[in-house]
Amino acid sequence: MKALRDMTGLEGTVQFAQRWLPIPEADALFEALRVDIPWTRHRLRIFGREVDAPRLSCWIGDPEAAYRYSGARFAPEPWSEVLVPVRDAVSEAAEVAFNSVLANLYRDGRDAMGWHSDDERELGPRPVIASLSLGATRRFVLKARAPDMDGRFARHVLELPHGSLLVMRGDTQVRYRHALPRTAKPVGPRINLTFRRILPLQV
């Protein structure tokens, strides 16, 4: 497993390891998760309208890690034997005890995720999100919410290859939105695991 490196230009809030998992391990994990995870189509609420998410997903976690995502509420599926060691290794690398993961399956280049921040209340003020990518390489884009001194909105484009690990921390969710755009290129399926730490709900 390779160490995470700070990304230049992102003020120490984003870390990345291009080849975090060795290829044979990444291959085996991709195949296991494809069949192991009960993939479903989540519904998203966008501007008050319910739409099908353009990807398949599954919310997995500790029983108390109930979660709201884009207006929908999810009770987590339990951790599987395949996922427990992955969760533990990612937690160690990011130095956070993750208690849940949103698994996403992008079947081809038409599947995507639009602009958003992972800033749900359950994640607390400065959440750490660790994102493990498997399968086809896809482009991940971070865009600043506020303009810089030249009036430009800073953009950072990252290719997320098979076995890579991206960690967003600190003010990343406050300062940036991120997206996984569609692509017209012929690309195969991709699985992405975004590990999160859900805080107990405040009453």
Q: Which is nearer to ligand AKG, 10 or 150 (CB)?
A: 10
The minimum distance between CB 116 and Mn ion, in angstroms, equals 6
Binding site for ligand AKG (CB under 6 A): 102, 104, 113, 118, 131, 140, 160, 178, 180, 192, 194
User: Contact letters (x/-) for Mn ion, 105-144, by CB under 5 A?
Assistant: -------------x--------------------------
The minimum distance between CB 203 and ligand AKG, in angstroms, equals 26
Q: Which is nearer to ligand AKG, 30 or 140 (CB)?
A: 140
Decide which of Mn ion, ligand AKG, none touches 93; Cβ closer than 5 to 8 Å per partner kind.
Answer: none
Query: By C-alpha distance, which of 20, 25, 39 is closest to 189?
Result: 39
Q: Which is nearer to Mn ion, 23 or 43 (CB)?
A: 43
> Residues touching Mn ion: how many (CB under 5 A)?
1
The minimum distance between CB 191 and Mn ion, in angstroms, equals 15
DSSP the chain: -PPPEEPTTTTT-EEEETT-S-HHHHHHHHHHHHHHS--B--EEEETTEEEE-SSEEEEEE-TT--EEETTEEEPPBPPPTTHHHHHHHHHHHHTS---EEEEEEE-STT--EEEE----GGG-SS--EEEEEEES-EEEEEEESS--TTS---EEEEEE-TTEEEEE-TTHHHHEEEEE---SS----EEEEEEE-PPPPP-
The minimum distance between CB 78 and ligand AKG, in angstroms, equals 20
Q: Which is nearer to Mn ion, 114 or 189 (CB)?
A: 114
The minimum distance between CB 150 and ligand AKG, in angstroms, equals 27
Q: Which is nearer to ligand AKG, 172 or 194 (CB)?
A: 194
Query: By C-alpha distance, which of 2, 56, 58, 12 is closest to 172?
Result: 12
